[in-house]
Amino acid sequence: MTRRKTHRFLQNAESSNVIEAGKPLYKTIRGNWGSEYFRNDNPIVLELACGKGEYTVGLGQAYRNTNFIGVDIKGDRIARGSKAAQLLGLTNVAFLRTDINFLQEFFEAGEVAEIWITFPDPQPRPKQEKHRLTHPRFLTIYKQLLKPGGTLHLKTDNPELFAYSVEQVNANGATDLQFTTDLYKSPLNRIHIGIKTKYEELFHNKGFTINYLQCKMGVI
């Protein structure tokens, strides 16, 4: 492990806005994010595979009356989002270090208002399909965690993953589906209030269009 990564892991251990194994809240936070961490009843929004947390932090800045949680297994990435949120004084932003397969261990049914998936690994090979974050097994988890009528968002530059995702949400009970294959030229772009991740900026500058969908996935 590099010295830089070691520093970031130590930073996570000392940061109150990072929930990870070894901290007391890690085992008790399920169903208690409002009461034990945020200390309010505001809506909870997740960013899955949040990386460095650019979207989590950006949304936290824009919507101070909503609570945002970035979820990722990579501790060195989360550390950057954690530090950015602290420097901005964002008490409505937290990070959870865990594998997305274990979401149900940290959120109870109906605890989440919205889920964002921003530029996930497309897992392009057929044998990787089960790892795509819009695979039916993940969509089933999202439906359980979201409030009735809760919203799922996806942004990706990968057209194959996007086509797959549109097909899967349609086949797995989505309602009010809206999507575009060129977000920046779509009326749906207003939802994004100008937030761009590092990779989004990179892809767009190379001429890639950004695909986006939103739909209702919560069990009604």
| Residue 126: pLDDT over 90 | yes
Go through 136-150 and write b for each residue having 16 or more CB atoms within 10 A of its CB, e for each that does not.
eebbebbbbbbbeeb
pLDDT of residue 203: 80
**Mean pLDDT over residues 55-61, rounded?**
96
Rounded Cα distance between 180 and 37, Å, is 36
Contacts within 8 Å (CB) and 24+ apart, 121-126: 121/49, 122/156, 122/158, 122/160, 122/161, 123/161, 124/158, 124/160, 124/161
Tell me the pLDDT of the chain averaged across its residues: 93
| 3-216, CATH topology level | Rossmann fold (3.40.50)
Of all residues in the chain, the percent with pLDDT exceeding 90 is 82
pLDDT of residue 11: 86
| Residue 5: pLDDT over 70 | no
| Residue 70: pLDDT over 90 | yes
- Regarding predicted confidence, which is higher, 85 or 9? 85
User: Is the entire prediction scored with pTM above 0.75?
Assistant: yes
Segment 175-196, tens digit of pLDDT: 999 999 999 999 999 888 888 8
Rounded Cα distance between 170 and 152, Å, is 12
pLDDT of residue 208: 87
pLDDT of residue 30: 98
45 within 8 A of 114, measured Cβ to Cβ: yes
**Could you tell me which of 182, 189, 188, 180 has the C-alpha nearest to residue 203?**
182
Report angle CA 146, 149, 151 to the nearest 5 degrees. 65
Segment 204-220, tens digit of pLDDT: 888 889 999 999 987 65
Structure tokens at 29: 């936070």
Structure tokens at 150: 């809760």
Burial class, 28, CB count within 10 angstroms (exposed 0-12 / middle 13-18 / buried 19+): exposed
Query: Catalytic residue numbers?
Result: 121
